[in-house]
C-alpha cells in the first residue's frame, strides 16, 4: 500500500485526514499583517513558513476531529450556565495529539505535531491539506464533519502526494445565518472582529464594559452560536451526552469548587488552561445576566467577602444588577 493510502486509512467516522505540501503560506501574509490576533505567535514569518519550524519539512498531514455533541438528558431547576461543546470532556489538544502520534509511529516517519498552539495558521493548513473550505463564520467547513471539528497536523520530511481538494461549489452562497445569529456582530461580511466574539470575551482577562458582560450572557466558556445555525452542521457526526453538569454546569458548584475540584473537573478539558478564576468570573456574570431570584442572590451574598479583589468586584456588581431587576 502506498504511504498516502495508509495515511487515509486512519480516517474514522469522526475524523478527516488530508495531505498538503510544506511550502510557505505566502497567500495569507497580507491578512496577518493587517489584523491583530490574540493568543498567537507574533512573528509573521514563523506563522507562514513551516520550514522555520522544521528545516527539512516537505509535507503536512492534517487531521480534523469532530467535537459535535448534543444533550439528551433532563434539565432540572438549578441555575445553570453553558459550556461550548468544544470544551467538554477530555481536552482536544490531548486527543488529537494522541491520534497523530499513533499515525506517525505506525507510519514510522519523522515529524513535528501541533494542535492549536503551534505557530502556523491551522485553518490555512487544513485548507491546503484539502480537509475543507473557509465559511463566512471563519470556520473551516468539511463535507463530512461540517464545521464542528478541531485541527491538528504533522509537519514531516517525507514527500507526499497532496490530497485533491473536493470543493463545495458556492459554499455559503447567500446564506448569512451565522452573521445574523451572532449576538455581538463579530462576523463581518469581509473578516472577523475577534474583540467582539463571545468566545473571546469568555477568555479575556478583563471585562470592563457593561456591553461585554451582557454579551457573555450565561456562557461559562466559549460559544457555539455561529456553528449551531450553520446548515453544514445538520446531519453530521454527533455524540450524545447525558451528563447535565458537563453541558450546562451548575453555577453554584462552579463558584464553590475547590482547587482540587477544579483540577478534577475542568483542568483536563479545553477550558482548563484559562484557570478557575476566569470560569468563576463568567459564572458570576451569568448570574447577573439571569433573572432575579433569591437563590442567585444567596449564592452571591456568600461571596461578598471573597479575598480575591477582582472576584469581589464582580460579585458586588452582580448583586447590584440583580437587585435592579427585582
Q: By CB under 6 A, is residue 217 in contact with ligand B12?
A: no
Q: By CB under 6 A, is residue 192 in contact with ligand B12?
A: yes
User: Please, what is the minimum distance in Å from the beta carbon of residue 137 to ligand B12?
Assistant: 5
Q: Choose one: 34-42, 48-56, 252-260, 288-296; the region binding ligand B12 (CB under 6 A).
A: 34-42
Catalytic residue among 21, 76, 112, 116: 116
Q: By CB under 6 A, is residue 207 in contact with ligand B12?
A: no
Among 129, 140, 155, 271, binds ligand B12 (CB under 6 A): 140
Among 149, 248, 266, 314, binds ligand B12 (CB under 6 A): 149
Spatial distance between the Cα atoms of 213 and 203, rounded to a whole number of angstroms: 12
Is 112 among the residues known to form the active site?
no
User: Please, what is the minimum distance in Å from the beta carbon of residue 325 to ligand B12?
Assistant: 28
Q: Which is nearer to ligand B12, 200 or 314 (CB)?
A: 200
Q: By CB under 6 A, is residue 153 in contact with ligand B12?
A: no
Please answer whether residues 153 and 103 qualify as being in contact, where contact means their C-beta atoms are separated by less than 8 angstroms: no
Q: For binding to ligand B12 (CB under 6 A), which residues are involved?
A: 28, 31-32, 35, 37-40, 84, 86, 115-116, 118, 121-124, 127, 134, 137-140, 147, 149-151, 190-192, 194, 197, 199-200, 203, 222-224, 226
Amino acid at each position: 500500500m502506498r504511504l498516502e493510502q495508509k495515511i487515509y486509512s486512519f480516517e474514522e467516522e469522526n475524523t478527516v485526514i488530508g495531505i498538503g505540501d510544506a511550502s510557505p503560506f505566502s497567500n495569507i501574509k497580507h491578512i496577518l499583517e493587517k489584523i491583530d490576533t490574540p493568543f498567537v505567535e507574533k512573528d509573521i514569518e514563523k506563522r507562514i513558513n513551516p520550514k522555520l519550524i522544521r528545516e527539512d519539512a516537505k509535507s503536512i498531514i492534517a487531521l480534523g476531529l469532530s467535537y459535535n455533541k448534543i444533550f439528551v438528558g433532563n434539565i432540572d431547576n438549578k441555575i445553570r450556565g453553558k459550556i461550548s461543546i468544544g470544551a467538554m470532556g477530555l481536552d482536544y489538544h490531548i486527543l488529537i495529539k494522541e491520534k497523530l502520534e499513533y499515525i506517525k509511529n505506525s507510519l514510522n516517519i519523522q515529524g513535528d505535531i501541533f494542535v492549536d498552539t503551534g505557530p502556523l495558521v491551522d485553518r490555512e493548513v487544513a485548507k491546503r491539506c484539502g480537509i475543507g473550505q473557509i465559511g463566512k463564520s471563519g470556520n473551516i467547513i468539511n463535507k463530512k464533519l461540517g464545521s464542528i471539528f478541531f485541527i491538528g497536523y504533522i509537519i514531516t520530511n517525507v514527500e507526499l502526494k497532496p490530497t485533491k481538494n473536493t470543493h463545495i461549489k458556492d459554499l455559503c452562497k447567500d446564506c448569512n445565518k451565522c452573521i445574523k445569529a451572532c449576538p455581538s456582530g463579530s462576523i463581518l461580511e469581509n473578516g472577523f472582529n475577534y474583540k467582539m466574539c463571545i468566545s473571546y470575551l469568555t477568555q479575556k482577562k478583563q471585562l470592563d464594559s457593561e456591553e461585554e458582560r451582557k454579551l457573555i450572557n450565561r456562557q461559562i466558556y466559549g460559544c457555539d452560536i455561529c456553528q449551531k445555525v450553520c446548515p453544514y452542521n445538520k446531519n453530521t457526526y454527533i455524540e450524545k451526552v447525558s451528563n447535565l453538569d458537563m453541558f450546562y454546569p451548575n453555577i453554584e458548584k462552579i463558584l464553590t469548587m475547590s482547587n482540587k475540584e477544579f483540577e478534577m473537573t475542568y483542568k483536563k478539558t479545553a477550558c482548563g488552561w484559562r484557570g478557575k478564576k476566569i470560569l468563576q468570573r463568567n459564572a458570576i456574570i451569568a448570574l447577573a445576566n439571569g433573572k432575579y431570584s433569591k437563590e442567585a442572590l444567596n449564592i452571591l451574598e456568600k461571596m461578598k467577602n471573597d479575598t480575591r479583589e477582582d472576584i469581589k468586584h464582580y460579585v458586588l456588581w452582580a448583586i447590584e444588577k440583580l437587585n435592579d431587576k427585582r
